[in-house]
Amino acid sequence: MSYATRQSNLSIGLLIFCLFAALLPTPAVPASIGADSPRMTPVVRAVQSVAPAVVNITSTHSIQRQTLSPLEQFFGGGIPGFNFPNQPRRRTRTSLGSGVIVDGAKGLVLTNAHVIAGGGEVMVHLLDGRDFPATVKGADPDFDIAVLEIKGAANLPAARPLTVNPGDSADILPGETVIAIGNPFGFNHTVTTGVVSALGRTIRNDDGVFTDLIQTDAAINPGNSGGPLLNLEGRVIGINTAVDARAEGIGFAIPINKAWRVMEDLVGQGRVAPLWLGLTVENMDMRMAMALGLKEARGVLVSTVYKNTPAEKAGIEPGDILETINATPVRDRRDYINLLRNQTGAENLRLGLRRGDQSRTVAVRPAHFSDATALALMEQRWGVTIQERGANLLVKTVRRDGPASFLRAGDRIIGIGGTRVSNMADLLKLFRQERLSNQLLLQILRDGREYHARLVL
């Protein structure tokens, strides 16, 4: 048998083993082991109490691919003089992740948004071998939190601390033992242990900024995402979400108090309300820093403070330099927007400010960034009002001395910055993200023709 054949057989065998492992339930504690046995450690007790509520999530979606017809494949691409149309084929791709049941009566599962992103049919697999279809109750990529609702099930096992009390991840101790349960690489209900390495971590990627994370050295691998992080009392203190691929033993979890608040918003109102402080900021550079008597360009410069907003009530003034939000450095305007997108309105934010040569920290409770407020700011900053009519976003009025003076009443807005928009919700979401930009590319439909125009602010 050749080396390649042995490797192929080994790979197939490993795949079959993983598939069977994913179907086998974790064995219960043997009757021979008493409750007072030294083997019944706090880790074992925590796993036994929470493991039945940990689920394996399979998200499947179909993709359309153009492939050669069987005759074309047989004849190496076709027969001279004959044309065979490409045959559309449906392929499915399955992604694996984990989750934890937090409400057994309603069948609610807490997991990561990236676990079910792009998925069609979602299936939930329980420790006892049962499988159920699930629907996405709500998801928010800015927090990487999703809530699933299991269909056709009742009296499901749930993580007990969460059904009675949402838990408190504010009293986590660096160095305390933690336990991760999940389904890495299809190995069902894998248990790993470690410690809390640090708190309040911030990680940045192409999708945004994620703040207030728990760092742990408990092994977290692909498939662990969405599973619970437990303490020795069996309390769910976090939702495992990411691992630093550059190193071993650096994983991150979303604190359960933040995950719980996001879940309540998603279940109650279908989304997490966007927030704002009531100010605009400008990027800092060395020239601006030198003019302000600073040795380095750090933070963002507050340029405007709006009336009757959290910023004004906190005593923030134009000319202040915003350096940190919850001890996370604010690098530029984009960073400022992304940091706000990863906060909930249930608690104060700690803003690190500099005024002259004085530094201070102020507590600010952000306000909901309502649609009415966003529309008013859009009219003020862009100089245009837009109305939704059917499936169209139409320009209603244009301020002739404003930056959008090239627009006409009746123009249809179909995209902003390369992102297509089809309703007011899309438009306002993009405005909230891009409201501090100096310029934007608008896509406009006028008299049946598509145009691109640059909005310079």
- Taking the C-alpha atoms of residue 158 and residue 350, their distance in angstroms, rounded to an integer, is 34
**Angle 307-310-311 (CA atoms, 0-180°, nearest 5)?**
75
Q: Report the b/e string of 141-165 with b at 16+ CB within 10 A.
A: ebbbbbbbbbeebeebbbbebbeee
- Phi then psi for residue 175, to 5 deg, are 100, -15
3-state secondary structure of 457: coil
**Is 320 among the residues known to form the active site?**
no
Q: Interior CA angle at 342 toward 265 and 197, to 5°? A: 110
Rounded to whole angstroms, how far apart are CA atoms 209 and 206?
A: 8
Give the closest residue to 241 by CA, choosing from 256, 223, 255, 225.
225
Q: For residue 110, list its beta bridge partners.
A: 100, 147
Distance from C-alpha of 240 to C-alpha of 101, rounded to nearest angstrom = 14
- Give me the catalytic one of 142, 144, 212, 335: 144
Which is the catalytic residue, given 103, 114, 197, 320? 114
Residue 51 backbone phi and psi in degrees, to 5: -55, -40
Q: How far does the chain reach from its first CA to its final CA, in angstroms?
A: 70
Q: Is 225 a residue of the active site? A: yes
Q: What is the residue whose two structure tokens read 């719980």?
A: 260
Pick the catalytic residue: 59, 169, 197, 225? 225
Distance of alpha carbon 376 from alpha carbon 9, whole angstroms: 65
**Contacts for 132 with CB less than 8 Å, ≥ 6 apart:** 107, 123, 124, 126, 150, 151, 152, 153
Q: Active-site residue 95, yes or no?
A: no
Active site amino acids: 114, 144, 225
